[in-house]
Structure 1
Amino acid sequence: MCLRWFVVLWLVSCATLASHQQHHQQQQEHQQQHHHQEQQQEHQQQYQQHQHQQQQQEHQQQHHQQQQQQQQQQQEHQHHHQQQQQQQRSLRRRHQRHELDRPHQWATRPFRSLVEGAAGATGAAGAAHAGDIPWPVKREAVVEGDLILGGLMMVHEREESVTCGPVMPQGGVQALEAMLFTLDVLNADPALIPNVTLGAHILDDCDKDTYGLEMAVDFIKGRARLLCTPAHTLF
């Protein structure tokens, strides 16, 4: 009888011990899985942080490159604008000497002052100035040379008191300056056109129908500038 109870107790103890060992093993496996998952999550977070830092660095580099490009473009634009201004001032100084004889008392005044005095004055003074200027006033630019190139350009605005008003900043004056500048460049290098000096005879239609038609006919026929009297330079 005692032996039987002893066997039963031993079997129960063995079963209990096996159950505890199995439970302990399951806990260890669960802890290992949990630790492995935590490591994976940590590695994934580190990888995401690394990618985010790389993206930020690339974005900063792109932004820095864009700023450098913008600054370079602004500098090039400013340099180009300064060159254009210098060329325009040089053209005005260079071609102011190519003036025709003027029959009235304002012959030595610049063109802008002449137009402002005629079209902008008011009252008795304005009437006196307007009476001093023959009508219609015709404009032309002349550059002496062996081979004369012609041109018809809208340089001035429409004006009722005189044929030609003020200079149009966005009008034919840009084409006129480009043409005169090209002549200067070609004439400055004897190797381009040997033994020949290029000149120009440029008429201005002044945005007036009848006057523009007359100047167009003069341009097509190639009339000499002495037929356009009284004559003035375009500047």
Structure 2
Amino acid sequence: MDYYERALTNHILASRRDTPGTDSPEVTYFVGMGPGVRRAFGNTGTCCGGTGLEDHTKYQDSVYFRSTDGDALYVNLPLAATLRWPERGLVVEQTSDYPADGVRTLTFREGGGRLALKLRIPSWATAGVTVTVNGAPHRGPARPGTCLTLNRNWRPGDRVSTTYRLRVERALDDPSTQALFHGPLLLTAQSPEQGANAISPASRPPHFTTHGLTLAPFHIGDDTPYHAYFTRSEPVRTC
């Protein structure tokens, strides 16, 4: 599911031009990772464009799973989606501005009763994930790569919220080559500059700034040149 989410957000969503339009939707044939590259977009005049356009129907897929015995509900993706479960008389609504915001809220709208709510904790969430139930912090373990189980008698109006954090991923063959993420969202520097200092939140979430540069989610489809990887220079102390 980690792979599914990363591919859905950072590749499939990033393959469309981020402008409204119903008569000539545009997608990109190739998403480059070189420094300062630009994405080029076109309409669906090619077979690749047509196939790529079909990928965008996947956003509604696999947000929720249920156990075969009907005693557990798995929440896999932080997407705005409403679940109607007629056999249990249950309606659950997940509200989120994701990927524009790293906070999601799951609300029981109708029905309830004893149910094991299983929240997916991504393997990359090594810095932890903040989980609240009706506004109160949940103190149970939330180990990366597992599901956090909230087993209780649910009632209409109960709310569960989760929040993601800023993080760094290092290349396996060269730890000094790194990429920046906000939760599962890849952030790219919208500038040809190479240096960077401290990272601060910008006025437009989930954008950040560092050393006069803007770090923006990669899924935003435009032709701004970007840098997806950075070489980090660690300070060396001498005695």
Please give the range of the TM-score, normalised by the shorter of the 2 chains. Answer: under 0.3
More helix by share: 1
TM-score (norm 1): 0.22
What TM-score, normalized by structure 2, do the two folds share? Answer: 0.22
Instruction: Look at both structures and tell me which one has the larger radius of gyration over its CA atoms.
Output: 1
Q: Which has the higher contact order (CA 8 A, sep 6+)?
A: 1
